Amino acid sequence: MNPQAMKNSKITKWLFDNVIYVFLILLVIGIVIASPDFLSVTNLINILSQSSSRIIIALGIAGILITAGTDLSAGRMVGLAAVVSASLLQAGDYAYKMYPNLPELPLFVPIIIAMLITGLFGTLNGVIVSKFHVPPFIATLGMMIGVYGVTSIYFDRPPYGAQPIGGLSESFTKFAQRGIPIGDYEIPFLIFYAIIFSIIIWILWNKTQLGKNMYAIGGNPEAAKVSGVNVAKNIIIIYMIAGLLYGFSGTIEAGRVGSATNNTGNMYELDAIAACVVGGVSLSGGIGTVSGVITGVLIFQIINYGLAFLGVSPYIQFIVKGAIIIVTVAFDMRKHAKKK
């Protein structure tokens, strides 16, 4: 093969491997040409802030995807955590408190309670998948429906019934809505939460035995088992960690919005799965990075924010996102098939 042909082949392969990033660059260029104000510090902060809770959710789902699993219950667990934490963190003088006689609790107590609840459901997912050998799609689909039922029962309680849980305490809203002043701008705490959890997950994936086992299970579960990996135990732990992440994300979603309902978090899992795939996490298992997950979430948030910034119809935005997901998965499957 002559040098020019080799060069063209390398360029083609690079474009093939990075098609989604090329598309993103072109899209951002198009948005900036249409509206130069898009590239402002304020918009960048807004995009990062809105991405923060989604990054935490996606990191939880990504670990499961790397084991060749999936989790359709993530969004409903986010909703459960949001409802539980909001109900326990209402201001003392709010007229419609779910628990009228409950004093204002320290901020960390309801957050830990919400995380433990969703961590328990995550663990249950892992047990069903690893011990009872139920396909992850079916196991987590059933859990999604069940958790929504639990959330709705909790939410639709007397004396006030199914109304949004609002009147959140000042400490809670500050935790999720305020930030650190830097110059003329305020960097939201949400961004720092996402950074902290990203570092923790990076360490778990890259510096611990659990992370090595996770990739081994996703690459070849039988080979991992033969090499001494306790596959069931590791899968349960990975689902449990995902549940804990959903729980924290749900609490900051409630605080960010200022209220919670039983529909908080609806469909978040699909956005997270799509972001993971766009960020290079293979649906076939064994492949994925923290940086890729973060990139995938930011790509979708930039698309959402950019198209909304231009006044594009939400229906058109759904079409664009759907096309991106299909194209990305198609390229992912082709790359996986070639490696085989």
Burial class, 303, CB count within 10 angstroms (exposed 0-12 / middle 13-18 / buried 19+): buried
Q: CA 99 → CA 27, 93, 146, distances in Å?
A: 48, 12, 24
The two structure tokens encoding residue 211: 């992370």
Q: Are 282 and 288 in contact (CB under 8 A)?
A: yes
Residue scoring higher pLDDT (172 or 28): 172
User: Which amino acid would we find at residue 314?
Assistant: P
Query: What's residue 11's pLDDT?
Result: 75
The mean pLDDT of 302-309, rounded to a whole number, is 84
The two structure tokens encoding residue 224: 């991992």
Side-chain half-sphere exposure of 231, counting CA atoms within 13 A: 20
pLDDT tens-digit profile of 164-210?
Answer: 999 999 999 999 999 999 888 999 999 999 999 999 999 999 999 99
pLDDT tens-digit profile of 77-105?
Answer: 999 999 999 999 999 889 889 998 899 89
CA distance 265 to 262: 8
Query: What's residue 335's pLDDT?
Result: 64
The two structure tokens encoding residue 206: 């890259």
Give yes or no for residue 277 having a pLDDT over 60: yes
pLDDT over 90 percentage in the chain: 63
Q: CB under 8 Å to 46, separation ≥6 — which residues?
A: 305
Query: What's residue 2's pLDDT?
Result: 65
The mean pLDDT of 17-31, rounded to a whole number, is 75
